[in-house]
Structure 1
Amino acid sequence: MEGDTVTMYTGGKTNQQDEMRWYFNDIRIAQITKDLSFICTDVQCKYSDARFRERLKLDHQTGSLTITNTETTDSGIYHNQVISGNRINHAIFSVTVY
């Protein structure tokens, strides 16, 4: 529902060997680098837009992504990518806001 908070849980914990990225419509909206030296959300991430300005929260311990004050335009497919060494794990989340 519009105005609610939605959290997409990754079900794990990040470590200093992993890099995590979140995408919405193929646009990177959040990222944690391997050594936690760079964490970005919304407009802080390169190539992102202002759609989620100040409404994204990225848990640097679990990698879970929270959207606050949801809008109908937040509906869609969210893609989580974890890069660990030579492995890349993917998770897809479908969000509907009405």
Structure 2
Amino acid sequence: GVFVMEEDSVTLNTDVEMNQEDRIRWYFNDTLIAQINGKSETCTDVQCDKSNERFRGRLKLDNQTGSLTIMNITNAHTGDYDLKIISSGISDSEKIFSVIVI
């Protein structure tokens, strides 16, 4: 798991370079919290789903890599972050990051 001090920031790295067609989705407890659909459409926290109040203003998405930064983290953000990368021509990949706030 990834251990983070309360009120710190953590970046969950995709370790990929995105191309135009890639779609990236981040889920927390099965709720979509951030996504990139190609280059045009991105959303974070409450823009993706109204129930993401706990993430409001705390998420930053890197448009080059799809990496997700959670800022000013609290206990409410402890849990599994599920990354799904949907690439054209390549099989989809998935990564799960377990974040523990201490």
TM-score range, shorter chain: over 0.9
Q: CA deviation at 1:19?
A: 0.5
The worse-fitting range, judged by mean Cα deviation, of 86-95 and 68-77 is 86-95
> Normalising to structure 1: TM-score of the pair?
0.93
Runs of 4+ in 1 over 6 A off after TM superposition: none
Q: CA deviation at 1:46?
A: 3.6
Q: CA deviation at 1:85?
A: 2.4
Structure 1: runs of 5+ lacking an equivalent: none
Q: CA deviation at 1:81?
A: 0.3
Partner of 1:67: 70
Partner of 2:30: 26
Work out the CA distance in 1 between the residues paired with 2:10 and 2:41. 24
Contact between 1:28 and 1:48, CA under 8 Å: does it hold in 2?
Answer: no
> Normalising to structure 2: TM-score of the pair?
0.90
Work out the CA distance in 2 between the residues paired with 1:51 and 1:30. 13
Contact between 1:28 and 1:47, CA under 8 Å: does it hold in 2?
Answer: no
Partner of 1:41: 44
Task: Kindly indicate whether residue 82 of structure 2 is the aligned counterpart of residue 79 of structure 1.
Answer: yes
Work out the CA distance in 2 between the residues paired with 1:47 and 1:70. 19
Structure 2: runs of 5+ lacking an equivalent: none
* Matching residue within 82, 91, 96 for 1:92: 96
